[in-house]
Structure 1
Amino acid sequence: MLNVGSVVMGAADVRRAAAFWTRALGYVPRGEIEDGWAVLVPPDGTGVRLSLGRSETPVRERPRVHLDLYAGNAAEQAAEVERLVALGARRVDWDLYPDDPDFVVLQDTEGNRFCVIDTAHG
């Protein structure tokens, strides 16, 4: 049986992206962070890796693949959104929000979009 080993995201500046995601997720580099490639792993070595590869293609406004980061409740979600914004993420004015969303759309320092989900949302 297969399992997800790594999510790969493009980055114009791999070092900048690695700096953001190590602080955002508490991950550590698996090896040396290079200009063209970095693999970040959970500190205990268990779980999905985040790989960052140098890319010159433009960021898509509505990406087909993105990360969902889970928060335990609305308060935790709000605190995590603020923490991520302080690290360099930006809020996205998402035109597809439902009336009562359980998610907040952000973009990282490279423009890659991701969501912070309130998993306790009704």
Structure 2
Amino acid sequence: MFTIQHITIDCHDPYALAEFWSAVTGWPISAEDEPGAPEVAIEPPDAGVPELLFVAVPERKAGKNRLHLDLMPVARTRDEEVTRLLAVGAALVDDRRKPNGRGWVVLGDPEGNEFCVEASEAERA
């Protein structure tokens, strides 16, 4: 049995990508990390939730992610979150929203890592 400590994302600029994901999640960058560090974490407010850890690698991302995050908004609708995330630097990759309100939107972070924004619980009800 294990506890998942980190979800690690290889990247070119760990601090810049951590800043983006901090804006996405609302989680703070670890006080131990600073610009130029080879590893930077953002820390979830809840115990038991893994940190997102950004680690510098020399190569750029190539191809589609083999693993990605699916995000479900808590305080906003899916569409409000998509608008907010595009404003903080995400890129639209694929719009899978359906006329009935279901579906999701695939976005890319500033280094091209894909993630999805799904409908909130309230929208699903």
TM-score by length of 2: 0.79
* Superposition deviation, residue 57 in structure 1: 2.4
Once the two structures are TM-superposed, the CA of residue 42 in structure 1 deviates from its matched residue by 1.3
Contact 1:26 1:43 in 2 (8 A): no
Contact 1:28–1:42 (8 Å) recurs in 2: yes
Q: How many residues align?
A: 119
Which blocks of at least 5 consecutive residues in structure 2 are unaligned? none
State the 1:55 CA deviation.
Answer: 1.9
Q: Which residue of 1 aligns with 2:2?
A: 2
1:65 maps onto 2:56 in alignment = no
For residue 119 of structure 1, report the CA deviation from its aligned partner. Answer: 4.8
* Structure-2 residue corresponding to 1:92: 93
Q: CA deviation at 1:45?
A: 4.7
Per the TM alignment, residue 4 of structure 1 is displaced from its structure 2 partner at its CA by: 2.2
**1:68 is aligned with what amino acid?**
D
**Mapped contact 2:105–2:116 kept (Cα < 8 A):** yes
Alpha-carbon shift at residue 90 of structure 1 (Å): 0.6
The structure-2 alpha-carbon separation of the partners of 1:98 and 1:29, relative to structure 1 and needing over 3 Å to count, comes to: closer
- Corresponding letter in the other structure for 1:87: V
Please name the residue that 2:16 is paired with: 16
Q: Where does residue 26 of structure 1 map in the other structure?
A: 26
Tell me if the contact between 2:97 and 2:104 (Cα under 8 Å) persists in the aligned partners. Answer: no
CA gap of 1:98–1:60, structure 2 versus 1, over 3 A, is: farther
Q: What stretches of structure 1 move > 2 A for 4+ residues in a row?
A: 43-46, 97-101, 119-122
> What is the CA–CA distance in structure 2 between the aligned matches of 1:98 and 1:70, rounded to whole Å?
14
Aligned to 1:111: 112
Tell me, yes or no, if the aligned pair for 1:27 and 1:40 is still in contact at 8 Å: yes
Q: 1:15 offset after TM fit, Å?
A: 1.6
Overall identity of the aligned pairs, in %: 29
TM-score where L is the length of structure 1: 0.80
Question: For the aligned residues, what is the CA RMSD?
Answer: 2.5
d(CA) in 1 for partners of 2:103, 2:70? 11
Tell me the secondary structure at the aligned position of residue 24 of structure 1: helix
Structure 1: which 5+ runs fail to align?
none
Give the conservation status (yes or no) of the 8 Å contact 1:37–1:52.
yes
